[in-house]
Amino acid sequence: MEYICGYCGHAYPTIGERMNCERACHEKKVREEEEAKVSKKNEEMKKDKDGLIALIKERDNLDEKIANTAREYDQKYGAFTSAQIVPWIRPFDALFGF
């Protein structure tokens, strides 16, 4: 009688050999699943980090554009200074002193 491994399908003449194979196959499967989880998590973290960096760059570009526009407005009309507009642009930065 042959005993078949439930994971890889190899045939063995004894139950003990089949059990050893199933144990090794199970450990391999568990390792692969854990590696897949870690890999997926790392990919998601990288994607989220890249998105965050893109948003930060966009914010910085907009901040620069707003500061330039405020400077031009101030030169043209003398009503605002850039220092007066910064709290409107980045209220949390102004609040925490960044």
pLDDT tens digits along 55-83: 999 999 998 998 888 788 778 877 655 55
DSSP assignment of 28-87: HHHHHHHHHHHHHHHHHHHHHHHHHHHHHHHHHHHHHHHHHHHHHHHHHH----HHHHHH
∠ Cα 31 35 41 (to 5°): 150
Structure tokens at 71: 């400077």
The more confident residue out of 84 and 6 is 6
**What is the pLDDT, as a whole number, of residue 70?**
78
Range of the domain at 68: 3-96
- The distance in angstroms from the start CA to the end CA of the chain is 76
Strand partners, 12: 3
pLDDT digits (tens, 9 = 90+) for 2-15: 999 999 999 999 99
Total number of domains constituting the chain = 1
pLDDT: is 89 or 11 the higher one?
Answer: 11
Give the tokens for residue 31. 């390792």
What pTM, to 2 d.p., does this model score? 0.53
What is the percentage of the chain residues whose pLDDT exceeds 70?
Answer: 80
Helix axes 15-77, 82-89, angle to 10 degrees: 150
